[in-house]
Homo-oligomer: A and B are copies of this chain.
Amino acid sequence: MTDLSTVKAALKAQSIETPSWAYGNSGTRFKVFAQAGVPRTPQEKIDDAARVHEFTAAAPSVALHIPWDRTDDYPALAAHAAGQGVRLGVINSNVFQDDDYKLGSVTHPDPKIRRKATDHLLECVDIMDATGSRDLKLWFSDGTNYPGQDDIADRQGRLGDALAEVYERLGDDQRMLLEYKLFEPAFYATDVPDWGTAYAHCLKLGPKAQVVVDTGHHAPGTNIEFIVATLLREGKLGGFDFNSRFYADDDLMAGAADPFQLFRIMYEVVRGGGLAAETGVAFMLDQCHNIEAKIPAIIRSVMNVQEATAKALLVDPVALRAAQQAGEVLEANAVLMDAYNTDVRPLLREVREEQGIDPDPIAAYKRSGWADHIVAERVGGTQAGWGA
C-alpha cells in the first residue's frame, strides 16, 4: 500500500521547468498565428513563466534559448527572474537558424562552419557560468535531405569532435544533455536520430554527458518508457522534454495526446528512482501553443505531468512485484491500471492547498487578470517567436 504522505511529499518536490520560447509565438511552416499579449523580451517571458509557477508551485525555473533570449547582462536577467519568484534553468543552444547552417552546424562539411557552431556552444557554457545554470541542452537539426548528400559516418566523427570540445569546457557541476530526434528539419538522415546514437556519444564523453528524451521525437510505435527505463538503469537519463504528439513532433501539450503513455513514462521514472533529486533527471516542457492561449496551456501541461506523476506514485509496488514474480499477467496489469484509473485531481488539490496556493490553477490564473493585463500592456515592439 502506498503511503499518501509520501506521495504528497514527492509531488511537492517535483519541479517542472518551462521553456521561455513556449511563451512566444510559434506555428508551422504554413502559418504562425500571432497572439495578443505575447512577450517581446526575455524579461516578459520570465514574467509569464513566473505566473505559471505562482499558480502551480511546480514550475520554479525557466529554460533559456540562445540567441532568442540573448542579453548583455545575464546576472541582471537572473535577478529579474529571482524578483519574479523563479530562476533561470537550462541553457538551450541554437545552431539551426543562421544562414550558414543550411547544410549542418557541427557536422557541416566545411570546418569553418563547424568552428562557428562549436563556438556558439562554448558561448552557451559561458552563459551558464553567468546564469548559474547546471545544464546545457544540445539539439542539433543537423542531417541531410537526400541520400548521398553527405557522408553519414564522417558526420558522426565531426559531431563527436565538437561534443568532446564542449564537454571539456564544462565546469565540475555542469552537464551536457544531448537530445535526439528522428526527423525534421532533416528529412533523410538526422545526425542524432535516436537514443542509441545519443547514448553512444554520451558514453564516450563521460559522466557529465546525459541523454534527454523529448517525447515527440520518436518513430511511430516506439516504446518510450522502455528507453526511459533503460537509460535510468544505465545512469544516462539526463531529463525530459515533455510534449505530446499524434503524428510527428507535434509539440502539443504534454499529456494531451496519450495520457496513458505519459503515465507509463512517469511510472518508469518512479520505478527507477528518477524522482530523487540526486539522479538529476530534469523535467522540462518543450511545446508549441500554436492555436491555444499560451500561459493556460502551459499551466495545463504542468498539471498533466503532475497528474501522471501522482498516478505513477500510486502504483502499489508490493502488489505489482508479487504479480510480476508470479507471472500473473492480468493481475500485474490490473495493479498498474488501478493507479491509472484513479482520479488524482482531488489529491492534487489537497497538495496545492497544503502548499498555500489555489487548488485550481487554471481558475486562479483566469481570475488573476494577467491575460488582460499583458494584452493591454504589451503593445508595440516585436513579439517573441522562433525567428525562422
A286-302 with Cβ < 8 A to chain B: 290-293, 296-297, 300
Determine how many copies of this chain the complex contains. 4
Residues of chain B with a CB closer than 8 A to A69's CB? none
| Residue of B whose beta carbon sits closest to that of A335 | B148
> Is there an interface contact between B199 and A333, defined as CB atoms closer than 8 Å?
no
Partner of A233, one of B31, B156, B194, B229: B156
> Is there an interface contact between A223 and B193, defined as CB atoms closer than 8 Å?
yes
Query: In the bound complex, how far is the Cα of B324 from the Cα of A291, in angstroms?
Result: 13
| Known contacts A248-B248, A342-B343; A330 and B300 CB within 8 A of each other | yes
1/0 contact trace for A246-290 toward B, CB 8 Å?
111010110011111000100010011000000000000000001
Residues of chain B with a CB closer than 8 A to A256's CB? 146-147, 333
- Please choose the segment from A21-29, A49-57, A167-175 that sits at the chain B interface, where 4 or more of its residues have CB less than 8 A away: A21-29
Residues of chain B with a CB closer than 8 A to A369's CB? none
Interface check A381, CB cutoff 8 A: no
> Is there an interface contact between B152 and A268, defined as CB atoms closer than 8 Å?
yes
> Is there an interface contact between B188 and A232, defined as CB atoms closer than 8 Å?
no
Residues of chain B with a CB closer than 8 A to A335's CB? 148
Query: In the bound complex, how far is the Cα of B333 from the Cα of A296, in angstroms?
Result: 12
Residues of chain B with a CB closer than 8 A to A33's CB? 99, 102
Interface check A329, CB cutoff 8 A: yes
- Please choose the segment from A37-45, A70-78, A81-89, A178-186 that sits at the chain B interface, where 4 or more of its residues have CB less than 8 A away: A178-186
> Is there an interface contact between B333 and A146, defined as CB atoms closer than 8 Å?
yes
1/0 contact trace for A201-239 toward B, CB 8 Å?
001000000000000001111110111011011100000
Interface check A370, CB cutoff 8 A: no
| Known contacts A29-B29, A291-B103; A149 and B329 CB within 8 A of each other | yes
> Is there an interface contact between A324 and B150, defined as CB atoms closer than 8 Å?
yes
Residues of chain B with a CB closer than 8 A to A189's CB? 223, 225-226
A104 to chain B, nearest CB (A): 9
Interface check A18, CB cutoff 8 A: no
Residues of chain B with a CB closer than 8 A to A232's CB? 153
A151 to chain B, nearest CB (A): 6
> Is there an interface contact between B185 and A30, defined as CB atoms closer than 8 Å?
yes
Residues of chain B with a CB closer than 8 A to A148's CB? 315, 320, 323-324, 332-337
Q: Count contacts on A: residues with CB < 8 A to the other chain.
A: 107
Query: In the bound complex, how far is the Cα of B234 from the Cα of A30, in angstroms?
Result: 31
| Residue of B whose beta carbon sits closest to that of A256 | B146
Residues of chain B with a CB closer than 8 A to A157's CB? 233
Query: In the bound complex, how far is the Cα of B257 from the Cα of A337, in angstroms?
Result: 11
Residues of chain B with a CB closer than 8 A to A230's CB? 152-153, 156, 196-197, 200
Residues of chain B with a CB closer than 8 A to A153's CB? 229-230, 232-233, 268, 271-272
Residues of chain B with a CB closer than 8 A to A115's CB? none
Residues of chain B with a CB closer than 8 A to A333's CB? 146-149, 256
Interface check A93, CB cutoff 8 A: no
Query: In the bound complex, how far is the Cα of B300 from the Cα of A268, in angstroms?
Result: 24
Ranked 3 nearest A-B pairs via Cβ: A196-B196, A148-B336, A219-B219
Query: With A27-B29, A190-B226 given, can you name 11 additional A-B contacts, CB distance below 8 Å?
Result: A30-B141, A31-B101, A146-B333, A148-B320, A149-B332, A153-B268, A153-B271, A187-B245, A189-B225, A197-B230, A258-B258
Can you give 22 contacting A-B residue pairs, CB < 8 Å?
A27-B388, A28-B184, A29-B388, A30-B386, A31-B388, A34-B99, A147-B264, A148-B332, A148-B335, A148-B336, A149-B333, A152-B230, A153-B232, A156-B229, A183-B247, A188-B246, A189-B226, A193-B226, A219-B220, A258-B260, A291-B329, A334-B362
